[in-house]
Amino acid sequence: MKSCLLASLIFAMLCGMVEAEAAIQTVAIEGMRYVPERLTVQSGDRIVWKNQDLVPHTVTHETFDSQQIAPEASWSMVFRKSGNYPYRCKLHPGMHGTLIVR
Ligand SMILES: [Cu+2]
Q: What is the CATH number of the domain that holds 41?
A: 2.60.40.420
The predicted-structure confidence for 1-34, as pLDDT tens digits, reads as follows: 555 555 655 555 555 555 557 899 999 999 999 9
CA of 46 to the centre of ligand 1 (A): 21
CA of 69 to the centre of ligand 1 (A): 9
Distance CA(82)–CA(64), nearest Å, equals 15
Q: Is residue 69 part of a domain?
A: yes
CA of 80 to the centre of ligand 1 (A): 25
* Confidence grade of residue 35 (pLDDT, cut at 50, 70, 90): very high
**What range does the domain containing 51 cover?**
23-101
Neighbour count for residue 47 (Cβ, 10 Å): 20
Q: Is residue 6 part of a domain?
A: no
Instruction: Of 28, 32, 45, give the one whose Cα is nearest residue 96.
Output: 32
Q: In angstroms, what CA-CA distances link 13 with 16, 20, 21, 61?
A: 5, 10, 13, 36
The predicted-structure confidence for 53-92, as pLDDT tens digits, reads as follows: 999 999 999 999 999 999 999 999 999 999 999 999 999 9
3-state secondary structure of 18: helix
Say how many domains are in the chain: 1
Q: Is residue 15 part of a domain?
A: no
Q: Is residue 80 part of a domain?
A: yes
